[in-house]
Structure 1
Amino acid sequence: MANEEHLAILKQGVEVWNSSRLMKSLYSFNEIVTYDLSGSDLSNTKLSGANLSGANLSRTTLCLTNFFVTDFSEADLSLADLSFTNLVSANLSGANLSESNLSFANLAGANLSGANLADANLSGANLASANLSGANLTGANLSCANLNWADLSCANLNWANLNNAQIIETNLHNANLTGACIKNWHINNETKLDDVFCEYVYLDYNKTQRRPTYGKFLPGGFASLYTKIIENTTLILSKALELENTINNQGVQFYSNPKIHIWEKLRFRSETEIKIAEALYRTRVLFLPNSLARLTTPKGRENTEADFLICYNGKWGVLEVDGPFHTAERRVEEQERERIFKKNGIKVVERFDAQRCYNNPDEVVQEFFKMIEIGYS
């Protein structure tokens, strides 16, 4: 059961909790203080940035809670309910998450290195760019999870369920995949399968379709097989793309600079825009980058483009990246464009400095989400 004193302090807010921990650490004279919050209901609370390292949170209810950049390192979260939580950039290194429920949690960019996730439910979770190096994922349910760009090097995925998981450009170097279900998993030629240890896998959830049917893969056999499959698939897709109509209304070149950057088959004018796109991707929101829209303007119906048209919790907003083309001389023109969007029902139009967008894209996106909530409140 939770320590009532600890629980009362936590419910006073993150600042009070963190200050209390700091004071205890200063006056404990090397005595180890254990923070016991086990079995408590902390759902729907705002604990972003809290220091919960080493805390006992086993069997707690934490669903729908904001844990953005929260420190859970070495914490005990076994059997906890963390479904639908915001754990973006949270520190869960070395944490015990065995048998926890992390279904549909947002763990983009989170640090889960060395964490124990044995038999955890991560179905539908967003683990894009997460650090899972050395993590124990034995028997974990990762069906439909987003593991794109994640680091799973040296992770143990024995008997894990990877059905329909997204594993694009994921690092699986030295990972153990023996007994995993890889039905309809999505990998590409950038997925690192070198030195994967795998004796056999299953192509169905019920584990009846074993590969190889008998015996085991030879050392390196699994990686070699799937590398060839990817190469053949890539060749077929590239030929199909040659036949596509290249005319579109996304990422249109308005300036003499011909440089166009491609990410996920979308066109961008800078690496900074791609940084924002990746950050938005990690949050799993709907967004339309650099797409022309047909709007009513003082001159009539015209095409107008926003850097990012974003739908967050059913509310629409425009995020603009102020790069070199957003000069002071063009500010009046841009203000008029912002008014046009607002007249057409887009209540929030926010501009962010390109340098900040490049260096701290996740922070920018989270701030933009707050502005949307304020704008529609």
Structure 2
Amino acid sequence: MALDFSGQNLRGRNFKGRKDLAGANFSYADIRGANFTNANLTGANFSHAKAGLQRRWAIGLVIISFLLSGLSGFLWAVNGYLVSLIFSSSSNDQIGGWVALVTLIAFFFITIRQGIISGLGAVAFAFAFAVAATVVATFAVAGLAAGAFVVVAAGAAAVAFAGAAAAAAAGAAAVVGAFAGAFAVAFAVAPAVAFAVTAAFAGVFAGAVAVAAAGAAAAAVTGTLFGIYISWRAMKGDQKHSLIRNIAIAFAATGGTSFRGANLTNADFTQATLKSTDFRNTILICSRWHQAKMLDRVRPGSTYLQNTQVRQLLVTGQGQDKNFYRENLRGINLKKANLADASFIGADLSEANLQDADLSRAKLKQTQLDGTDLTGATLTGAYIEDWGITNTTKLHGVRCEYVFMRLPTKEDPDPLRKPDNKQEVFADGDFADFIQPIFDTLDLYHNQGVDPRAVAIAFKNLAENHPEAELEIVAMEKRGDDKILLRAKTAAGSDKSQLSAEYFDDYNQLKALSQSQQLLLIEKDSYVSDLKNMLTTALGQPKFYTQGDTNMSDISGINIEGSSNVSGIAGNNSIANLGNISGNVSIALTQLPDATDAEKPGIKELLSQLQDAIIQSTYLSEEEKAEALEQVKALAEAGKTPQESTKQKTAKTAITMLKGIFSGLPAVASLVEAGNKLLPAIAKLFSLG
């Protein structure tokens, strides 16, 4: 039974590493400062819970922020003093003052435009230059240079001091401002408090420097305002100042609620207050964040919570027209979210919860949806080009009137609407039936010079070589003038990379065969002939796309082993004298060694039996017998060195050709029986079976 902590005061409690919290109820509980590190919180309920810092930690952090504010004011006052040297009677001091002013202005400008890192980098460059110039000045004082070097050194030194002080002051002020901004939200401490402390310190220091009190005070005020502005931009999510924001949030989360490394799969944080909470390295699969408060003040680590736009989507459920290009949204919970017209091109939505979500007209091109739950989702008008659904994608109850198989382009304004008839729509449940065949498919893309006969034979061979893959053609699409995509459904777990490589190896070899040789393989096979005709039709149309029932599903039941290779083909297309051909076969057979074991026939004995069966067949024409004997001769030539790869390829081609010739014979023919017995044994001797 799940534990119930609802409504309890759990401040500072230690649940670290506990594995018995799955499904626990923490709703309305006060979990400020609680430690859930590495705990198993699968399915836990944290709705309306209050996370964050305990009061004593909040007071301690505020005190530290005040101290940093004082340091900031002191450093800005130093910068004010250096700038006030402009009004000094000494020309060297005036140069230093102007250099300090220019350095500060450049620092302000670069930081605002490009961020604190760029600003500090510019000051560091000035500091390096000043150090080098100071070294030169040292030698000048020793008499190695003119007195003018002293003036340059003095100015450079002023740059160094002003730059270093400016960098320290701006950095401290920005961080302090960020802390102040964070604490203002977290603890109701107004930014004005930090500003007041800063001004007080600035006033003290300015009083000590009577020569430039007004300048120091002005610089302190300006610097503090600058720090507050930078911190405000950082806490608003400005990426230029992300360093400041990350430091401030990490600082403010010290001592707060920790879920670091916890398993929060299916956990519910609906309307929970989550400021100063640590979610680093957590498992957040399908966690719910609807109307969660202060989700932008958590420490997200590398989870999807680090993205500002994603956080807003999780809290509000409103993602219409938003762009999530290539975002890693694996395991995100967007149940009932409004995602109409949103773009998820290249995004990873695997294992996400999209139940009842509105994905009307959403761009799902190349979107990964492995294990995604789309139950009850609306997909009307969605663009599903090359989307990554699998047999674990849940499509039960999907609402969809029509989809587009491609994104529209200038070159192709027709994005392949399905159903094709624009007056038709999918009936309830039809979309799942339409898309079901391509859950796990093998895509065979032919990009030049498509040979329909070679495609048909190669696919037939592949289906028979791998019956466990349960290959079944489910879609065919013409792309461009001479490109075609053949899509075949496969069994779960099939190695599609291996299947594709084997198919194209076979296809490329078959393309090299003459037309007459290809015809011998397909003329008596209605399945191959049907597929070849369909491909020919597709290539002859301006546009062609078919999916679903292609009347080719029975291809998966064809049984042909081996793949073709043109290497070492011995035959030709002429009608030769059958006796001469048979004699040539006999000569080739005499060159093979006899079997060492009389009970285990070798290649010579098996091929002799096959030769006799072909000659004695009453079902083969003279031309067919001649072609069959040419293949036997090829096998005999290859049998001299049966373990060489080139000879094995020759043997595979010959066996494939023989099976094609035998495939049209009646089942009662003695040659069929002989072929079924002899060909597998011959293939085994060539290490092909």
| TM-score (norm. length: structure 2) | 0.22
Q: Which has the higher helix share?
A: 2
Q: Which has the higher strand share?
A: 1
| TM-score (norm. length: structure 1) | 0.38
Larger-Rg structure: 2
